[in-house]
Structure formats: C-alpha cells, structure tokens
Amino acid sequence: MSQTPTRADFDHYMVPNYAPQKAVPVRGEGSRLWDQEGREYIDFAGGIAVNGLGHCHPVLVEALTAQANRLWHLSNVYTNEPALKLARSLVERTFADKVYLCSSGGEANEAALKLARRWAHDHHGEHKHRIVSFSQSFHGRTFFTVSVGGQPKYSQGFGPVPGGIVHGQYNDLDSVRNLIDDDTCAVMVEPMQGEGGIIPADPAFLQGLRDLCDAFDALLIFDEVQTGAGRTGSLYAYQQYGVTPDILTSAKSLGGGFPVGAMLTTDRVAPAMAIGTHGSTYGGNPLASAVALAAVEFIDTPEVLEGVKRRHDLFREHLEAINRQHGVFREIRGMGLLIGAEMAPEYEGRAKDILPLALEEGLMALIAGPNVLRMAPSLVIPEADIAEGMARLERAVARLVAGQ
C-alpha cells in the first residue's frame, strides 16, 4: 500500500478500544519524536514506562539487528542462546533462581498467579487458592489479571470473574490481616501503584506483607512490570525496600520497547511449574531476549541508576516550580522516573485535560487515573530535554488555568 495512513484510518479499521491522540509519530530518537507533519515532541510518556532508554537507542538497535541476522524464532520446543543469557543475567542480578520468559506484563502476571495457585495446590491441597490483592491495583488485561487487579471497571461486562480473589486497601496492613487466612495462596502487590495513582508503598507495609505471607505459608508476588528494570533508581524496586518476594514480574522497560516479559522466582517455588503446566509461544523469543539482555546490562550500572535518582530530583523541582506559579497540584510523588502529580481540589479529575494541551505545546505525557498527571520518561533523558519539556508543560498548565 502506497497511501500514507492517517489518524482517521484508526477509526475506520481498528477496534475502538483505544482513543489515541491526533498526532501520529513516525520517527523517534532519544527522548524526542516527530509526527507525520515533521513536528517535534519531547517524550515524558516513554510508551507508558516502556521505552526505558528512549527511542532507537544504539545499544538496543545493535542488539536487535545483530540477532535479526542470526535467528528470529524457534518456539519452546527448543531453547536458544539469547534466552539463556537473559535468564542467567536476571538470576545473577536478583533474588531469583529461575526465570520464565513471555511477551508482556499481563502474561508475566498471569504466569505468576497460576504458579502461586499450582504451588499451593501441590503443597497444601485445593482449598489453598485465595489471592489477596489491593483496590486500585492494576496487573494486566487478561481476565485473571483484571480480576486480581483492584479496578472493577476493567472486568465489568465480561461475565463471572474468577473466584477466590479479595482486595485490601493499599498501605493498610490491618486490611490485609482481616483477609489473609490459611486458604490464602498469595498476596500480589505493586511496590508502587502505577495505574492506581503513582503511590509508593510504605516500607512497613511491604515488610508486613512479607511477615503475613510467612505466617500463613502464602507466596508474596511483587508486580514490578512498571517499577522494574531501573525505573525507580534500582534494577528492581524490592531492592530499595529490602523486602524480597517469592515471585516477581517484569516487562515494560525490560525490553526497552521490544515486547518481552519475565517472571522470576525461587527454587522453592519453581518446580510447581512442571512440564506442560504453562507456556508461551513467543516466550524466550531470540529477538526479544537479545534486546532485553542488552537493556538490562546497560541499565543495571551505577551511571544509569544514579542518573535516574538525579533526574527524579530535577523533575520534582520543575513540577514544584510550576505549582508555585499556577497552584494546580495537590501533591507530587513517586520514585525514580515514575512520577505523579495529583491535581488540586479545584482541578479535581482534570489531569486528562492537560494531555491534549501538552501535545499542542510539543510534549507527550500520561495520566494515572483522572486525577494524576503521570510522567515515565527515558531513564537517560538528557537534562536539557527535561528543562525544555517542563517549559512546554508550564505553557499547557497555564492554558488549563486560563480556561483555554
């Protein structure tokens, strides 16, 4: 087809489950993008925390193109060198002994939940199947993961949800004490809620979950799909909290933009996922594994991780300056380069109104629910791009305040 696609083609040809912005990006480099008209944008969205090294990072491009000239796909009937290298790298850098590779965060969380139930079944019997999760949590879009996630809007209208799932209140350990029992197989939690509003966990809360899981012989699952692979300033957020889960899930920045996911676990738990219990056609794909390995090795360095912490301070300083001028934010929070600015009461629910204004000013950003402006840029975004992006954000906020 020689015809250039347009935004109108989305409405004509695509299932209407998304409502993309008007601009159609066609090229990216670092933390900048260009649309079909050649207009430039600074990217504070990062593909929803996916483009951990920005767009077309040379290290990832080299890994992808080198592997593309060797081997693309085999299926899980065979293993391959990039998958084995990636698994070993993740094991050596984390608490884990074993890795399961897949294609997305939703798949990784699905595998984690199935593993937890299978482990409990094998060790305790069918009664031990209950899962404790949290209100406003988000764990993916498969039917199991949206049911475990604490946002009913994502599972409504699809029929009966899987049973045995209960939801506590995030950062409220007493609410979990009232739910967990001998029939609980797992507690699933995000170290920082992403879609739920960029809310970091209290350290005592996560330690309390660890203690409760130990007391009831349940597994602690950390969903680090959004917080992992350097996003918070360590390779994984659990390392900053000093609380070790039994299962951890990773995706998004793990592949730097190439679809990949991973579930990490221990030798105590992994045997429950025996031959034939679970699988993924594209899991461990050589292309994805090669890119993810390059991303992990580049990100897990003092230069990058310390840079994330420094850039966090810059983002916070700029957002606080905007707020002093316009008074639109009630609170600025987050860890590393996953940052949320909650709207002030007089702008309740209007975070989404900033996005089209920001786009017109040449900035891409996100929301985390209707009341939180979210930023998840490249972990190596140049400081000059932060300053220019914030100048564009300030203009968009000024327009919001002026009622434009």
Reported residue count of the chain is 404
Query: Is 147 within 8 Å of 180 (Cβ atoms)?
Result: no
- 37 annotated as belonging to a binding site for a ligand: no
Q: Which of 393, 364, 361 is nearest to 376 (CA)?
A: 364
Of the candidates 134, 138, 258, 298, the residue annotated as catalytic is 138
33-38 contacts at long range (C-beta below 8 A, 24 or more positions apart): 33/364, 36/4, 36/6
The enclosing H or E element of 302 equals helix 302-326
CA 88 to chain centre: 22
Q: Which residues contact 342 (CB under 8 A, 6 or more apart)?
A: 197, 329, 330, 331, 332, 333, 371, 372
Residue 252 annotated to the active site? yes
Q: Hey, CA dihedral for 191, 193, 199, 205, is it positive or negative?
A: negative
How far lies 29's CA from each of 32, 231, 282, in Å? 6, 20, 27
Residue 85 annotated to the active site? no
- 226 annotated as belonging to a binding site for a ligand: yes
- 88 annotated as belonging to a binding site for a ligand: no
d(CA 78, CA 100): 14
Q: Which of 39, 41, 47, 36 is nearest to 5 (CA)?
A: 36
Q: Which residues contact 99 (CB under 8 A, 6 or more apart)?
A: 86, 87, 90, 91, 262, 263, 264
Under DSSP, the state recorded for 227 is T
Of the candidates 43, 128, 246, 252, the residue annotated as catalytic is 252
- 301 annotated as belonging to a binding site for a ligand: no
Of the candidates 128, 134, 205, 223, the residue annotated as catalytic is 223
Q: Which residues contact 25 (CB under 8 A, 6 or more apart)?
A: 33, 34, 35, 41
The enclosing H or E element of 98 equals strand 98-102
d(CA 122, CA 217): 13
- 141 annotated as belonging to a binding site for a ligand: yes
- 234 annotated as belonging to a binding site for a ligand: no
How far lies 279's CA from each of 77, 94, 102, 276, 287, in Å? 11, 23, 8, 7, 18
Residue 138 annotated to the active site? yes
Token representation of residue 29: 């480099």
Pairing of strands 184-189, 219-223: parallel
Token representation of residue 76: 């899980």
Q: Which residues are annotated as a binding site for N(2)-acetyl-L-ornithine?
A: 141, 280
Looking at the annotation, which residues are catalytic?
138, 223, 252
Q: Which residues are annotated as a binding site?
A: 138, 141, 223-226, 280-281
Q: Which residues are annotated as a binding site for pyridoxal 5'-phosphate?
A: 138, 223-226, 281
